[in-house]
Each structure stands twice: as C-alpha cells, then as structure tokens.
Chains A and B, each alone.
Chain A
Amino acid sequence: MAWIETILNGLMLGGLYALFGLGLSLIFGVMRIANIAHGELVIAGAFLAFTVTGAVPIHPFILLPVVVLVMFGVGYALQAGLVNHVLGTDPLRPLLLTFGLSIVVQNLLVELFGADNRALDPGPLRTASLDLGPLSLGVLPLGTFLVALALFGALHWALAHTGWGRMVRATSDDPEIVALMGVDRRRVFASVMGLSAALAAIAGMLLAMRTSITPFSGTERLLIAFEVIVIGGLGSIWASLLGGLALGVVHALGFRLDPASGLLYGHLLLLVILLARPEGLAGKRKVR
C-alpha cells in the first residue's frame, strides 16, 4: 500500500512538474524557441506573491489572480520589448537573449530579496490530508494536481475553440502567411509569452506553498520543465502533462528507494527516453 501511496504522491508532484513544462512547451510550439528564462519566471511569480503577502496578510490563493495578471503583463512586455526583436532565422539569438534575461532576473531577485529561503504560507492546507482508507493524500498536493489539470484543460479549450486559439495555431503553422489575414505575429507571440509567464507564475506560487525557494531555484525548475517536454514529446500540451506525471512518479519512487539521489532517477528516465523514444512518450514516431 505504501508503494501505491508513493505513486499517487508522484502523480500529484507530476501535476506541478507538468505545469512547469506547460508554458515552456507553449512557447516552443508557437515560436520554436527555447525560453531559458522560464525558470526565473516561475520563481519571479512566487517572489511577487512574497512581496504582496509580506505587506498585506492575504491567503496566497486569493492573491493568485493578481499575480497571474501582473505576470501576464511582464511576459507580454518582455516579448514585445525584447524577444520579438531577435526572432528570425537564427535560433541562437533568442536563446542567448533569454539566457541573459535569466541571469538578470536572478540577480535582480537577489538584490531585492536576498538569497534566503522563502516559502508561501498556505495556512492549514500545508498539513491537511485526506484519509482514503489505508491511503493518505495531502490536500495541498491534491489541490495542486487539480489546478494543473484544470489549467491544461482550459488551455486546450482556449486553443481549440476560441478565435485567439485559432490565430495562435495558424501563427505556429505559418507565421508569414498569417500576416495576409491581418494578423501581426509579434502581438500573437507577445500574448503567448504573457500566458506562458502567467502559467509559470501559478506554478511558482504552488511550488512556494509546498517548499521553500531562493532566487536561484529557477535553474532547477527550468531543467525539470525541459525534462517534462522531452519525456512527454513536443507538439501537444497533453504530452507535457504525460511527461510531468511520468517524471513526478519516477522522482517519488526514486526518493523512496534512495532519498539521497531521487532526482537522479528523473535524469535517467530522460536518458532512457532520449535513447529509446526520442520523440517522447506521446510524440509521433517519424516514418523513414
């Protein structure tokens, strides 16, 4: 029974991992760039919440919509003001720009907040648990998992059934030709980066309710986000969910087997996927 509980906890953790990967996957899918600053956007969202909860005693969940809106604006401005200007045929330029951005954001956070560990206080939710017979599940991990599922579902719905989603998919297919339909791809990219930053901020707040973080925690989350989209496979947001759940379960099992090197098992899973199924668990196999 303990193993089942471990797997369930891994799935809950995987929901959060999937959320780390969701924004990164969205950016890559639409713009074909790897946003190296994605981890810092995750952490910046949490630090924005620290700032507000430090000044006003308010529950983090109530604060969530405000952080989402602010981080959407930050993402939009980053894309419109910086990243759009380096997009083109050379993928190295946005890669280097976002790498530089990640260092700037990291140092800015250290300058403003110091390098100490911080966490958001979710109140009684931190220790609350659901007893399901012989199984016990934490309410916060379960809530995180459900929030992640809801966000995946909402994004899928928005992409599939709204005019904005149609425009995003068309821009992803052919960013030159959408201009003939009056679409300014730079605005589409900015809205997508804004959404990615908002999703990253939600993931950051949920992370900071589970564990303490520092301004340097973004690097590890970026690595997890990359592992999620490689393990799941590119081309679909649901692949990121699958990748996140797989990585979460492997981490949970790894920590149970060997608490000193649980993360190592996640990296091993990545290695196995790259060797055996480079298109990812949900990716389409290329026919030769």
Chain B
Amino acid sequence: MAERLLHIEALDAFHGDFQALFGISLSLAPGETLALIGANGAGKTSLLRAICGLTEARGGLLLNGRDLAPLPTPERACTGIAMAPEGRRLFPSLSVAENLMMGARIARPGPWNMQSVCALFPILAEFAERPAGLLSGGQQQMVAIGRALMANPALLLLDEVSLGLAPVVVDELHAALASLRGQMAIILVEQDMRRALAASDRFVCLLEGRLVMQGASNGADTAALARAYFGED
C-alpha cells in the first residue's frame, strides 16, 4: 500500500442535529492533490471543516498515523494542516503582511515564508501594509492561500478557490496552484469540474454527504462524473 498522509475512515459529520456527511472513507498520499467535486450542499466544505475540527465529526481521522479526533482545532493546526477557507475569511483589520504573519504562528520548517509567498503572488508585496479587507476578491484569495502556505503545511485544504472571481483571476490562481503540486498534499474544493480535474491527481465526488464516485483525474469519465455530480442513475 502506498504511504498515507491522511486516512479517513467512515467519517460522519454534523451541524447540530443535521448530519452533513455519511461514512466518508478516503486517503491521501504525501504530495498528492485530491479534488473534491460535488454540487452545493454535497458536503465538500463540511469534510474540510471536519478534518480541521471546525465541524463536529465521528469516525477515523488519522494524519501521519496520528489520531486527530481528540485534538481541538488549534492542536490539529500544529500537526501540519492549514486551510484557505470558503469566503477567504481574512482578518480585515489586519494588514496583508499581518495576515500572513498569523499563518506563520505555527510554521513548521519549510520553504514558505514572506518572501516565497510574495514570489508566488507578487501583488502581495505591493499591498503588504494595506488592510486585507480593502483588497479585491482575487487578491484576498491570494492572501488566504498565502496565509495557509506560511504554516508550511503537510496538508493544504483549499475551499472554493475560484468562487465569485473573474475568469482571468481564476486562471492566475490556478497557475499558482499548479506550481504547488507535489510539494504538499492538497485537497481542493472547486466548483468548475474541468479545472478541478486538471489541477488534481485524483478526484472524489460527493452527493448529499455521501461519496458516490472516485478515481484518477487524468482520463476521468466526465460524463459519468457529471451523472454522479447530479445524482442521476
């Protein structure tokens, strides 16, 4: 069996009384990129939040063989998990540089620092002292990804990277993400199926909280995937 960084076994997740995920099982190798595909409400964000400990979950959740279940979110972050959450969720009263520094609070040794993040997204160096809340959506997404990279994570969770952004900005972001492939394990949530497959090694399709299809991204049967996406038999 290939070396596993993340192993999820029969994971259920809950938002209060509402069950968002049902028995999800999957694993991820170091340096592998996994695309999470699914319609709105399929459970993609819930899965990422469950991995981080932001959403209540039950089931097996191991990172490098370590059981994450008993760990609260801050301690899980220290094990090497970083996330660029849906909606960016920057700290608007902090400057761009300060947002990036927040990401570096629990940095593991690695190549990512202020210089390398600004080399990936040069606009951030120009706006370093500007309050993050004043940036455009695309620039905010760059800060969110940069903030997550500053931790030098073993597992990077990227939620809805291109949501609400202009195509030209999405192109720029995906070009940057392509350069990250292989450096760390990535779980990418992306609405655009074509982009998601192009940016990943494997895909997982969720439907109403259940895993309904998975496979290699390269050469994936997109017609079958579209049927799984919409829940058509």
Residue numbers of A with Cβ under 8 A of B are 163, 166-167, 169-170, 172-174, 176-184
Contacts and interface: CB of A to CB of B under 8 A. Distances in A.
Given A180-B52, A180-B82, A182-B77, A166 B94 contact: yes
B89 interface: yes
A179 B101 CA distance: 14
Nearest to A185: B74
Nearest to B82: A180
B54 A173 contact: no
A174 B54 CA distance: 13
Given A166-B98, A166-B101, A178-B102, A183 B91 contact: no
Contact of B72 (A166, A173, A177, A179): A179
Contact of B78 (A177, A178, A182): A182
A182 B106 CA distance: 6
B58 to A, nearest CB: 20
B194 interface: no
Contacts of B72: 179, 184
A169 B78 contact: no
A174 B94 contact: no
Contact of A169 (B54, B91, B103): B91
A174 B91 contact: yes
Nearest to B99: A170
A170 B91 contact: yes
A32 B75 CA distance: 25
B73 to A, nearest CB: 4
A181 B102 contact: yes
Q: Which 3 A-B pairs rank lowest in CB-CB distance, beginning with the nearest? A: A182-B106, A179-B73, A173-B91
Interface of B: 52-54, 72-75, 77-78, 82-83, 85, 89, 91-94, 98, 101-103, 105-106, 147-148, 151
B151 A173 contact: no
A169 B93 contact: yes
Nearest to A172: B93
Question: From DSSP, what is the main secondary structure of chain A's interface residues?
Answer: helix
Nearest to A182: B106
A180 B94 contact: no
Nearest to A178: B102
A272 B220 CA distance: 68
Contacts of B94: 166, 169-170, 173
Nearest to A166: B98
B85 A173 contact: no
Contact of A180 (B73, B92, B93, B98): B73
Contacts of B54: 176, 179-180
6 contacts: A166-B101, A172-B93, A176-B89, A180-B77, A180-B83, A182-B78
Which of B54, B73, B101, B148 is most buried by chain A, counting CB atoms within 10 A of its CB?
B73
Contacts of A182: 74-75, 77-78, 105-106
Nearest to B133: A173
Given A166-B94, A169-B94, A173-B94, A183 B105 contact: yes
Contacts of A183: 74, 105
B77 A179 contact: yes
A87 B62 CA distance: 30
Contact of B105 (A174, A176, A177, A181): A181
A177 B85 contact: yes
A54 to B, nearest CB: 44
B102 A166 contact: yes
B113 to A, nearest CB: 15
A183 B72 CA distance: 11
A223 to B, nearest CB: 29
Given A173-B94, A177-B85, A181-B151, 19 more contacts: A166-B94, A166-B101, A166-B102, A167-B105, A176-B54, A178-B102, A179-B52, A179-B74, A180-B54, A180-B82, A181-B74, A181-B102, A181-B105, A181-B106, A182-B78, A182-B106, A183-B74, A184-B72, A184-B74
Which of B74, B85, B147 is most buried by chain A, counting CB atoms within 10 A of its CB?
B74
A167 B83 CA distance: 18
A173 B82 CA distance: 19
A173 B95 CA distance: 12
B77 A170 contact: no
A182 B73 CA distance: 7
Contacts of B73: 179-180
Contacts of B103: 181
